[in-house]
Amino acid sequence: MKKYGLSARERIKHKKDLNKIFQSGTTVLSSDKKIIAYYFVDVTTQQPVIKFAVTISKKLGNAVWRNRLKRIFRAAYRLNKAGLIDKCLINSKSVNLVLSPHRLNQENNKVLKLADIETGIREVMGFISNRI
């Protein structure tokens, strides 16, 4: 697993996995209320792994804006995933994580930058790593 990469093994690809996270997972909201994270901790795994996805509704903006937001979310996750990975390896647990914007939309936030999003993602991931 690369330190700053996001391989295919680390992505949530199946709808059943997403449904499991949304139905039986836990929700965390960042303090600035820009980011909401849904996560599910799996204790019964042979090899600890973190799986990640980003979900963005079509109601939030046009395709260009949504795709930029997804790229920013992925970049912020990649830069801050090391602490969460270490905690999962120590406790031998797997985490499925879905990040989504909460109070972000194209109408109110025309231009988004990594610095605007990264603090919220860092906070949410720190909270999750403390709960594992």
CATH at residue 106:
3.30.230.10
Distance CA 49, CA 85 (A): 8
Distance CA 106, CA 64 (A): 10
Is 125 within a domain? yes
Read off the pLDDT of residues 36-71 as tens digits, 9 standing for 90 and up: 999 998 887 678 888 899 999 999 989 999 999 999
Is 38 within a domain? yes
pTM, 2 dp: 0.87
Domain span at residue 105 reads 8-131
How many independent structural domains does the chain possess? 1
Is 76 within a domain? yes
Is 2 within a domain? no
Question: What is the predicted pLDDT for the residue at 2?
Answer: 67
Read off the pLDDT of residues 75-92 as tens digits, 9 standing for 90 and up: 999 898 888 888 888 888
Question: In Å, what is the CA distance from 120 to each residue of 7, 49, 91, 113, 126?
Answer: 23, 22, 24, 12, 10
